[in-house]
Chains A and B, each alone.
Chain A
Amino acid sequence: MTQPTLGVWDVAAVSALLLINGALSVWLSLGIARQLLVAALRMVAQLAAVGALLTVLFGAASPIWTLAMASAMVLFAGYEVTARQTRRLAGGWGPGLGTATMALAAATVTLVALVGPLRPDPWHEARVAIPLFGMILGNAMTGVGLGLDTLTTAVVRDRAALDARIALGAPRFEALRPVIREAMRRGLIPVINAMAACGVVFLPGMMTGQILAGAPPGDAVLYQVLIMILIAGATGLGLLGAIVGGAWRLTDHRHRLRLDRLAPARPAS
């Protein structure tokens, strides 16, 4: 069997599918043709840029550059987590809490994978560390973003009920338990769905890529299982930190509800 080779013109040819989508949007007056075009062009530009960057990074083989790249990824992920929230914590807590918990969880789990099962040489090998960190961080970003958005929205929605429990003498985490549970559940749903449907409803991108690149399916499956477990672990840890931290910030040392610590609501983007 020969390994398939992919050229730029092959990719350009399949972009006709996007043009068909755009044409359908115009025909049905959906008003998303422009968004579709911009998103597609953005994707190509971003991936081309990151491809060039990774080529330089892998060539440099410097842990400093690897750390710099990971830090830049964290900043972008932090921006995305914050931007997607209808209501966010006011001040530095808004971008800070989600970014810090997500980055800490993703970095810890990536390090565990690098020094544990993967063991590249050297252990910080950018070719392994950066894609791995990216996959883990991206999924943690989705979970933490969803969880924090659910928490801040739910405390406002259920303010009277939370206040009633506090007035009856409940400590803050007991009073907020229903919204903490709701936020944790909502944040974990994407990763639970991904694990439950993996291999049945869809073949994961990384596994498909490995198989297309010629790896034996057994090896590809083993890597995919490892990645899914790492993703679930990091998402759970980051989410727990973000939600407990958010609930702590939305109450004070007297166990009072402090919705004045939320920034004014804004429409979700």
Chain B
Amino acid sequence: MTNAEILTLRGLTSTALKDCNLTVAPGEIVVVQGPSGSGKSLLLRAIADLDPHQGAAWLGPLDRARMSGPAWRRMVRYVAAEPAWWADRVGDHMRHPKRAAELAVSLGLAADCLDWPVTRLSTGEKQRLGLARALEDHPPVLLLDEPTAALDDAATRAVEALLKRRRDDGVAMVLVTHSDAQAARLANRRLMIRDGCLRDAVS
């Protein structure tokens, strides 16, 4: 189980975002959709405090402004659509190799995939291993940027099953996807973003 806390965001504003407010409860998946370039990824990056912006954020009683950036990001984890790699071997990117390997297997990858060189990974394998890397230390909040964009149906189902298990464990998630079907399968709540403004989506 994860230490469940409510994620609260107030007035997130940047060159691409306009006064975005959002509350995500533990065990809730909020799906954000919108046209390309509308600010979906920038919203997730602002929540993770990866880009300069105005606004406030709390995780339960914890005020982001009173925490260091790294401490916040260890709890509020952004997972990019195209995970990047910095070492030669997959396992060198993992802080908890045993847990990462278990996660990789649950996502349909081979048990020895942590020994693979990064250069041999396909786009889909990179995406699943990027997810395993982000989930291995059980952050209470996940910010997922098109986590299945490069995956086939079977791998997509495996990722969605893992996300549902994490949701049941109390993890709060903000999920960006272009797939209406995926949004329907996973979302507790659906929002639209257009020109940087966050709105309730018509269900």
Give how many B residues have a beta carbon under 8 Å from the other chain's beta carbons.
23
A36 on interface, CB distance cutoff 8 Å: no
A residues 125-177 touching B (CB-CB < 8 Å) = 158, 160-171
A residues 167-211 touching B (CB-CB < 8 Å) = 167-171, 178
Nearest chain A CB to B62's CB is how many angstroms away? 14
With known contacts A161-B86, A163-B50, A171–B80 Cβ distance under 8 A:
no
Contact A169 B73 (CB under 8 A): yes
Choose, from A9-17, A73-81, A252-260, the stretch at the interface: A252-260
B51 CB contacts on chain A under 8 angstroms? 256
Q: Which of B69, B78, B134 has the most CB of A within 10 A?
A: B69
B50 CB contacts on chain A under 8 angstroms? 163, 166-167, 256-257
With known contacts A161-B86, A256-B49, A256-B51, A169–B80 Cβ distance under 8 A:
no
A160→B77 CA distance, assembly (Å): 16
B52, B70, B71, B83: the one contacting A164 at CB < 8 Å is B83
B52, B71, B73, B86: the one contacting A167 at CB < 8 Å is B73
Contact B84 A160 (CB under 8 A): yes
B78 CB contacts on chain A under 8 angstroms? 167
B49 CB contacts on chain A under 8 angstroms? 254, 256
Residue ID in chain A nearest B139 by CB atoms: A169
A residues 227-248 touching B (CB-CB < 8 Å) = none
Contact A168 B73 (CB under 8 A): yes
A170→B84 CA distance, assembly (Å): 14
B82 on interface, CB distance cutoff 8 Å: yes
B residues 77-103 touching A (CB-CB < 8 Å) = 77-80, 82-86
Q: Which of A163, A169, A258 has the most CB of B within 10 A?
A: A169
Nearest chain A CB to B64's CB is how many angstroms away? 9
List residues of chain B with CB under 8 Å of any chain A CB: 48-52, 68-71, 73-74, 77-80, 82-86, 130, 133-134
List residues of chain A with CB under 8 Å of any chain B CB: 158, 160-171, 178, 252-258
Instruction: State the 5 A-B residue pairs at the shortest beta-carbon distance, nearest first.
Output: A169-B74, A160-B84, A254-B69, A255-B69, A161-B86
